[in-house]
A = this chain, B = another copy of it.
Amino acid sequence: MKSAMSIGEFAKLTGVSQRTLRYYDQIGLMKPSHISESGRRYYTERDLIPLQHIIALKYLEYPLEEIRIALPQTTASLKQSLALQKQAIVSKQEHLAQMLKAVDYSLSVLEMNEEPDTQFITFLIHSVIREKEHLHWMSRHFPQQSVDFLTETMKTRELEITRSTAELMQQIKRDLPLFEPGHPRLQEYADKVLNMVKETLGPDFHMEAINPDAFNDVPDLHVSPFTAEEELKLGEVFKIYAERQNGEE
């Protein structure tokens, strides 16, 4: 029975640093079994148990203050506290899943082309950040049918759709300054955009059904893949596209 250890020995035995042990002593979380007259801390095997408790709860990311409270707790409150902690873990997992999605989008766009735009990456990440708000906004302003269609589509084809949308936007950004709004190249892009919209929102979706006021209400203000100038020119492109469509019919 090696009953009394110095702080150094105890630290080696447990893998907890001397500084940490002194800190736990200081905040009253765990005091050593004995303290000599000269102030030296001596630990025994009995100190292992509370320390292992602390390590276990720290692993679950309890703050030290909570650990102090939780250590001498009853079953009921322990259960409750663990349930809370579980909730916290789950929401962190959700957060991480979102982050992972954002990174994956960004990486797949970066791999796609030579000269990517940081603004574009930013846009992608923001579209993940604001995903929930966007959906909420849509369910306020778009027909329920379209929202359902989108949710369904996203479940299975999210990465694919994000990628091709991103690719299309990049092409538009590249060619927009090179051609007139009426040029076949840009008109083709307009057509592609509308097809993508139909693909994601369903064939029954029509832009005309949306109240234009809805767009004054868009949540993530000012985060767009396009500059103000680009958006203006794009507006012209779509105007011409609409006119030609009406003319043909």
Return the contact of A79 from the options B49, B107, B122 (Cβ within 8 A).
B107
Which chain A residues numbered 24 to 78 have a C-beta less than 8 Å away from chain B?
Answer: 45, 48-49, 52-53, 55-57, 59-61, 71, 73, 75, 78
A93 proximity list for chain B (CB < 8 A):
93, 96-97, 100
Interface size on A, residues (CB 8 A): 51
Task: Name which residue of chain B comes closest to A87, CB basis.
Answer: B103
Q: Is the CB of A121 within 8 A of B86?
A: no
Q: Is the CB of A106 within 8 A of B82?
A: yes
This chain's copy number in the assembly: 2
Task: Name which residue of chain B comes closest to A127, CB basis.
Answer: B56
Return the contact of A104 from the options B14, B86, B92, B223 (Cβ within 8 A).
B86
A180 to B214, CA, bound (A): 78
Which chain A residues numbered 199 to 240 have a C-beta less than 8 Å away from chain B?
Answer: 221-223
Q: Is the CB of B52 within 8 A of A122?
A: yes
Interface centre among A13, A71, A89 (most CB of B within 10 A): A89
Task: Name which residue of chain B comes closest to A124, CB basis.
Answer: B56
Q: Is the CB of A121 within 8 A of B78?
A: yes
A68 to B110, CA, bound (A): 20
Task: Name which residue of chain B comes closest to A227, CB basis.
Answer: B49
Q: Which of A112-120, A158-166, A188-196 contacts B (4 or more CB under 8 A)?
A: A112-120
How close is A133's CB to chain B, nearest CB, in angstroms? 11
Q: Is the CB of A60 within 8 A of B121?
A: no
A-B contact pairs, 25 of them (CB 8 A): A13-B221, A52-B222, A53-B119, A53-B122, A56-B122, A57-B125, A59-B99, A59-B102, A59-B125, A59-B128, A59-B129, A60-B99, A60-B125, A73-B118, A75-B114, A78-B110, A78-B118, A78-B121, A79-B107, A79-B110, A82-B106, A86-B103, A89-B103, A92-B96, A93-B93
Q: Does A126 contact B (CB under 8 A)?
A: yes
Return the contact of A100 from the options B75, B90, B102, B222 (Cβ within 8 A).
B90
- Once A53-B118, A93-B96, A110-B78 are accepted as A-B contacts, the answer to whether A60 and B102 lie under 8 Å apart by CB is yes
Q: Is the CB of A115 within 8 A of B75?
A: yes
A53 proximity list for chain B (CB < 8 A):
118-119, 122
A223 to B55, CA, bound (A): 11
